Each structure stands twice: as C-alpha cells, then as structure tokens.
C-alpha cells in the first residue's frame, strides 16, 4: 500500500469510528441516519501537507487538528507513524500512537489518536 492510499484508509477508519459512535448514540434515529453522519464526517476530513508531517484536519463550523502523520523516517519515528496533536501546528513527539501501514491504524478514534496507557 502506498502512502496516499494508506492516508485515505486512515480517513475511512476515522469516519467508520464516527459512524459506530453515531449508531450507539441515544439520538440515533436509524442506521441510515448514522451512515449519513459517517459520510458527512468523512467529507469534513482533509490532509494538509507539511514538510515533515502531514496534518489531518476536521472542518465543520470550525477547524480542528485530528493528528499528524510522519512523512519520512526520522531518528525517532518511521514513515506513517500517527502522532497526537500537541497544538495546531505541532505533534506530540513522545510516542507514536500507531502507523497507517500497520494493523494499529484501526486503533484510532474519531476524536483523535488514542492516548498512551
């Protein structure tokens, strides 16, 4: 899998988690309603290209950072590592939360990369 398709897969995994969240919600009117919310959520996700990291952004009535993806191997991280956002313009660089090329990509939530335990 190449980098671009791995990013697209990540965005789909994020939206799928939002669909599951919506389907479990007490506001869920029907499965179609939850599916529509998942599709809308996916359409709100975008990737902003950076020099070292790509930033995953959600835009609805405001913009927020979902997380960052490492573009190339570094001394501390490997290509595709998922990093939690420390702020709008920088990731938390203490530890990767998964990798877009590995099964750990399924360990993300619609709210962002999982916290460390």
Q: Model pTM?
A: 0.90
Question: What would the two tokens of residue 61 be?
Answer: 């009535």
On the CB side of 83, CA atoms within 13 Å amount to 25
Residue 117, pLDDT above cutoff 70: no
Closest C-alpha among 115, 27, 13, 102 to residue 56: 13
Helices (H), the chain: 3-24, 31-43
Per-residue model confidence (pLDDT) at position 30: 83
d(CA 116, CA 30) in angstroms, rounded, equals 34
- Tens of pLDDT, residue by residue over 34-63, are 888 889 999 999 999 999 999 999 999 999
- Higher pLDDT among residues 37 and 105, named by residue: 37
Residue 37 has which token pair? 């919310």
Domain locations in the chain? 3-107
Q: What percent of the chain has pLDDT over 70?
A: 98
pLDDT of residue 110: 93
Q: What is the pLDDT of residue 25?
A: 78
């Amino acid at each position: 899998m190449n980098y671009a398709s791995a990013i697209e897969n990540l965005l789909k995994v994020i939206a799928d988690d939002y669909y599951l969240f919506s389907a479990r919600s007490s506001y869920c009117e029907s499965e179609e309603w939850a599916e529509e919310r998942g599709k809308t959520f996916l359409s709100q996700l975008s990737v902003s290209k950076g020099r070292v990291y790509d930033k995953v952004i959600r835009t609805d009535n405001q913009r927020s950072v979902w997380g960052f993806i490492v573009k190339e191997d570094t001394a501390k991280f490997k290509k595709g590592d998922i990093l939690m956002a420390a702020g709008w313009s920088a990731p938390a660089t203490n530890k990767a939360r998964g990798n877009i090329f590995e099964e750990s990509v399924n360990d993300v939530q619609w709210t962002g990369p999982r916290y460390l335990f």
